[in-house]
Amino acid sequence: MVATQSGAIVGFAMFTTPFGDMTVNSYIVFDPVTREVAAFDTGANCTGMLALDVKIRQVFLTHIHGDHIGGLDHLKQQTGAQAFVSAREPLAGAEPFADDRAFQIGSLRVQPRRTSGHTRGGTSYVVTGLTRRLIFTGDALFAGSMGGALVDYREALQTNRSNIFSLPADTVICPGHGPLTTVGEEQQHNPFFSR
């Protein structure tokens, strides 16, 4: 469980691993009833995830930079999980998917949203069915900032505004680096959100 300003979210855990001179976040989500589990990125390594008494079945990748997929091969070997990545950014060992594909984690719904610009295949994932709506943004958006637009700055702004800032204000943003935040908080304070 992870605590937020409004309390703990059952079915959600966050992991932070060192990568060079920074840290990177990865997450797991599970259906509290069926106990089906999915990971969102792996961080630099997946030791924290593997220490839990859960069986990870799916891994959703926000993009393929090394700090976000560093533990992917090990996680797949240890769990047999299937990895998914945007077809716009293929990766050996991960199944590519089209932007309009939806997924399930037990009764939880996973809806990919294109958030490209930082990378060509940048994808955020909206998860519904827990006590709070979550969005896993990778490096598309952080608390008070956004990832470097390594591919296209205008595209990064447009996809963030269309596919993240359009969510309900109480949606919890789970970024690739830094603390959790909410859509409402970022609408108020993120300089990259244009009112």
Interval 64-110: pLDDT, tens:
999 999 999 999 999 999 999 999 999 999 999 999 999 999 999 99
Name 11's Cβ contacts closer than 8 Å, sequence gap at least 6: 1, 29, 30, 31, 32, 108, 130
* Mean pLDDT, residues 185-191: 95
Percent with pLDDT over 90 in the chain: 90
* Residue 15 is assigned to a structural domain of this protein: yes
Note the pTM of the prediction, 2 decimals. Answer: 0.95
Residue 195 lies in a domain: no
CA 63 to chain centre: 9
Residue 160 lies in a domain: yes
- Mean pLDDT score across all residues of the chain: 94
Report if residue 194 sits inside a domain: no
pLDDT of residue 1: 40
Q: Is residue 143 part of a domain?
A: yes
Structural domain count, the chain: 1
**What's the Cα-to-Cα distance from 178 to each of 75, 77, 101, rounded to whole Å?**
23, 28, 28
Q: Let me know if residue 11 belongs to a domain.
A: yes
In a domain, 9, yes or no: yes
Q: Is residue 44 part of a domain?
A: yes
Buried b or exposed e, range 139-175, using 16+ CB within 10 angstroms: bbbbbeebbebeeeeebbbebbeebbbebeeebbbbb
Residue 152: which domain range? 2-189
| Domain of residue 15, CATH code | 3.60.15.10
